Every structure is written in structure tokens, then in C-alpha cells.
Structure 1
Amino acid sequence: MARIRVGLPGIPVRDDPHRAVETLLALGYDACEIDFEGGFWMDYPWAAQLGEAARDADIALSVHAPLFGFMGHLEASGRKFSSAVGALDRSAGIAAACGAEVVVFHPGFLLGRTREDAIASVVEQLGTLRARLEGKNRAVPFGIEVMGRVRDLGSLDDVVEISRHTGWVRPVLDFAHLHATSDGAYLEPSLFVEALAAVDDVLAPGTPFHIHFSDIAYANRNEKHHLPYGEGTLRADPLREALARFDRPATVISESPDEASSQAIRAVLTS
């Protein structure tokens, strides 16, 4: 089996990057996703120190961009579009400074369009963003996340299609979201294998799967909120079995609401 890293969805200590890495090691994690969903709190020197400490400790870093940092706006202009581009630009700058593997972002919304038109808009605007990042030496890999609302943009097929059209954007599997939008179908390894295979088909050799995982509450095929591990029906055992069928490493970020749940997931995936 290729290596499975497990990490937290946020830096556990914000006052000192070295202490943050020490805390991750003490908890047994070898990955961490820097959480900017609620806004930026880290500057570039802090990120550089974090990256150096993480490399020395063999901890893989990723970045989650702010929630408003999505592409596919109806018009590639105006305040919302500029704010989104700025958020993704800054996320990429932090990722470059700390050596993060990928910047995770959300795919956006249909906004009354067909799914095909919405995807085309996302791809076009990502191209504009990429040119901007290349000019700043921030052209890091991006990861587009599978979403948890069945009628929104962001199904597994959507993010694979966007990734296929860009080449530098990779799908990010969120199995809690997949479990919710399938009305709780992700119980056996076979569905996990199908999802991983779809992503494996568009990833470059050696690129790790990037995965979000937690137990989940849902209704009408839409996510409600994350649950402590064991309170819902999503389990890590079939994910581990499915990952064993691929010769590709994986980074799994636990989005559980409590540390005990994250430790339970880590124990299953690394046993």
C-alpha cells in the first residue's frame, strides 16, 4: 500500500509556527491543511517558517482558500470577481511560501446556467487566474473540491471535467459530501474505488490523492453538518481498503468536529 498521510483541517497553534509543527507531531499527524475559509490570518514570513519546520518534520501542507474564492462568475469583472481572484492569488502566495502541495478551493455555482456552461466559465476564469499566478511565480497546483449539495456545481463528474480541461487543477474528494449527495450510499469499498479511479485517471503519476473525510449528517441528498465519528454511517475502513488498490499515495484531511474523531479516523487509515 502506498503511504496514507492523515492531518487536521487547520493549524492547531497560531502564535508560533515551530510550536504548531511540534503539536501536529505530538498528535501523530503528518499532514495539515491551512484553513483560510474564514479569512487570512497568516503572513508570508510566518508561512515560510511553517514550511521549513514542516519539511524538517515530514509534514505535508495544503491550503484551503477562503470560501468566496471561487471561479465561474457570471461576469469576469466587478467586486466579487476581483475579491475571488485576490483570495486565490493570496492563497497561492502562501502556498508557495510554505511549500504546500495544493490550494483547495470550491467550484462555485450554476447561477441559472447549464452545467456545461458553468464548467466552461470556471475553466476560462481559471485560465485567467493561472496567467496572473505565473507572472508572480505563484503557479502552484490547485485542487477543486467535490461539494455536498446535489443541485449545485461540484459533483464528482464536474470537478473531474474541470481538472481534465485545465491540467493544473486536480479533483479533491470529499467523501462526506459524496456520502451526503448519494443519500448515504458510501458504505462498501466499491463506491470508494469508483471515485478514486475517476480521480486517478486525471492525476499525474506520483501526485497524491487529496481527500477530505469525516462523518456527516445529511437530508434530501444535501449535507447538513459534520458529525463526530461513529454518530453517522460513513466509515474510514472502506476508504482504507479502496486506497490499497491504487499505487498512489494519499493525504486525508479529517474535517471532524472533535479531536477524538480525527484520531479514530487516523487509527483506521494508518493501521
Structure 2
Amino acid sequence: MKPDIRFGPAGRPMGYKGKTTQVCDYIKKVGLDAFEYQATYGVKISKQSALELGENAAKNDILVSMHGPYYINLCSQKEDTIKKSVERLVQSAKAGEWMNSYRTVFHMGFYTKYSPEEAMKKCKDAISELLEKVEALGINNYTFAPETTGKKSQFGSLEELIEICRSFDNFTPTVDFAHMHARSGGIIKTKEDYAKIFDKIENELGLKSLHCHFTKIEYTDAGEKKHHILSDSNFGPPLTPLLELISENGFNVTLICETPYLDIDALEMKKEYSSILRG
């Protein structure tokens, strides 16, 4: 069976002015096939609207994911912050189930004064609490997808996320290649660099599918600074080697565009991928 490769925007497309519940009509019309709903400032969508979005996505064969709120820190030094973070993730999972989101993406938090090992323990304790609450509410259709982070002060290296996903059911990583590039000081340059990431995920988690984000990124010694458009050649990581690898490695891949041009650049990504397939 041919791998399922999809492209779409992180949030409302630039050219779309209608209701969020009908956005997948537009996404299908322009030639894309994925959509990441952004609940970055809180899960505010109603049940009815979420159900309508899910129906609209199914009608158009658009794969929906959700990005949970930014205000999440599962390794905070403040127990109240962890409690609120868990509740926001519960809300995200509930809304995600309504809209039939296949992934709930989120950032796990900041180390603050904790060592990486201490932060890992705090995160695992919080996730255990999260899963208890999700189960108690009867939420069944969910997959939490913690995202690789772009700042060195954040919990969320690929190694840390693999450990989290190995430890809990219904967890799988979101790989943000730009974040990994920025966090490492610009390490992603070739197809082989991308292959190491895919191989690590396959070897350590047994996965042959990947939800991921892509943008060109500016960074400092501390990590991520600013997202840039796809055509900005001054910044990495490079797109073409990634698309070449995806065309070869048999993974199912959903690639969400996080450049400032969202759907415009997502379509450029899909066009380049199609060109690679044609040879």
C-alpha cells in the first residue's frame, strides 16, 4: 500500500475568511489534505462547532490534528500550574474527540530550576494524572502528541519525547524539524540528518508514521527566535532533502506548515513533493 503523505496549514488558511467549521471545504479546494486546528490561547470551540468541523473534514478527506494551548507546563515548580496544564490537556482531548482529531499536539513545558531528570519525573507524574482524568471522563478517541521544542530551556528534545512516548499508551511524538534545527544550533542539513531522526523513531518506538511541523527558522544560542517563509534561503532547515526522504522511506507522514504563509507554503511543499515523485 502506498504511504499516506499529507500537507496542510497550522491554523486558519491565509486566504480563508469563512467559518472554522467549514474550513476543510477551502483546504480541499486549494489542493491540501490536512489541517491543524489551533487552540493555542485556550480550548474555546463549542461541542457543536467541533462536531461540525469533524464532519466537514470527513466529507473532504482532510486529516485533522489539534494544537493544544501554549499555557502548558507539566514540569512547573508550581503545582497549581501543573493542575491547570492537565485540565487544559483534558479539554483539548475532549474537543479533539468531538472533531475527530487524530493527534493532540502540545508543548510539555520548561525545565526552570529542575534538571532534565527532575523535569522528566514531574512530567511523567502529571501525565499519569492526565490519563486518569481522561479515562474517568470516558474520552476514548485520543492520541497525545508532545512536540519537540525549539529552545534549550524547554523540555522536549527528541530523546525526552521518545522516553515519554515509550512510557505511556496513546502517546506519540510530533517532530518539529525547525525546532530540532534551532535547538541543536543548525544540525539538520542533509537527507542523512533527517534519516537519523526517522530511524531513531522507528527503532525506538516501532513507528512507521509521523506527525510533523516544518518552517524555516531563525535561532540564537538559546534556540528558536523566529519563523520565516519557505522561500527564505537565509534560514534552514532545508526542505528538499526531507521531501526526498519521505518519498523513499515508506513512512506515513503528515507535514503541517508553520511558516507565516501557512496554506500558501503548505501548497508549495506539496507541489515540490509531487515534483520529486514524478522524478
Instruction: Please confirm whether the aligned pair reaches a TM-score higher than 0.5, indicating the same fold.
Output: yes
Q: Does 1:50 align with 2:46?
A: no
Verify the 8 A CA contact 1:110 1:118 in the aligned structure 2.
Answer: yes
Q: Does 1:20 align with 2:59?
A: no
1-side partners of 2:223 and 2:171: how far apart? 25
User: What is residue 212 of structure 1 aligned with on the other side?
Assistant: 213
Q: Does 1:3 align with 2:4?
A: yes
Verify the 8 A CA contact 2:152 2:222 in the aligned structure 1.
Answer: yes
Q: 1:250 aligns with which of 229, 253, 257?
A: 253
What are the residue-to-residue correspondences of 1:120-131 with 2, within 5 Å?
120-131=121-132
- Counterpart code for 2:157: S
How far did 1:201 drift?
Answer: 3.3
2-side partners of 1:202 and 1:132: how far apart? 28
User: What is residue 271 of structure 2 aligned with on the other side?
Assistant: 267
Could you state the TM-score of these two structures normalised by the residue count of structure 1? 0.91
Q: Does 1:201 align with 2:203?
A: yes
- Counterpart code for 2:269: I
2-side partners of 1:269 and 1:202: how far apart? 27
SS of the counterpart of 2:173? strand
User: What is residue 66 of structure 1 aligned with on the other side?
Assistant: 69
Verify the 8 A CA contact 1:4 1:269 in the aligned structure 2.
Answer: no
- Counterpart code for 1:70: N
2-side partners of 1:19 and 1:151: how far apart? 38
Verify the 8 A CA contact 1:236 1:269 in the aligned structure 2.
Answer: no
Could you state the TM-score of these two structures normalised by the residue count of structure 2? 0.89
Bigger mean CA deviation after superposition, 213-222 or 100-109: 213-222
2-side partners of 1:92 and 1:138: how far apart? 7
What are the residue-to-residue correspondences of 1:1-271 with 2, within 5 Å?
2-12=3-13, 16-17=19-20, 19-74=22-77, 77-78=79-80, 80-139=81-140, 140-203=142-205, 208-220=209-221, 222-231=223-232, 232-258=235-261, 259-271=263-275
How far did 1:39 drift?
Answer: 2.5
2-side partners of 1:52 and 1:162: how far apart? 32
SS of the counterpart of 2:110? coil
SS of the counterpart of 2:265? helix
Distance 1:233 1:194, change over 3 A: same
Verify the 8 A CA contact 2:210 2:254 in the aligned structure 1.
Answer: yes
SS of the counterpart of 1:193? helix
Gaps of 5+ in 2: none
SS of the counterpart of 1:216? strand
Gaps of 5+ in 1: none
Bigger mean CA deviation after superposition, 13-22 or 127-136: 13-22
Verify the 8 A CA contact 2:76 2:111 in the aligned structure 1.
Answer: no
Verify the 8 A CA contact 2:7 2:267 in the aligned structure 1.
Answer: no
How far did 1:14 drift?
Answer: 7.5
Cα RMSD over matched residues? 2.0
- Counterpart code for 1:260: I
Verify the 8 A CA contact 1:6 1:254 in the aligned structure 2.
Answer: yes
2-side partners of 1:133 and 1:194: how far apart? 34
SS of the counterpart of 1:167? coil
SS of the counterpart of 2:41? coil
1:116-135 per-position Cα deviation (integer Å, ceiling 9, x unaligned): 12112111210110010011
How far did 1:203 drift?
Answer: 4.4
Identity rate, percent: 25
SS of the counterpart of 1:251? strand
Distance 1:32 1:181, change over 3 A: same
- Counterpart code for 2:173: P
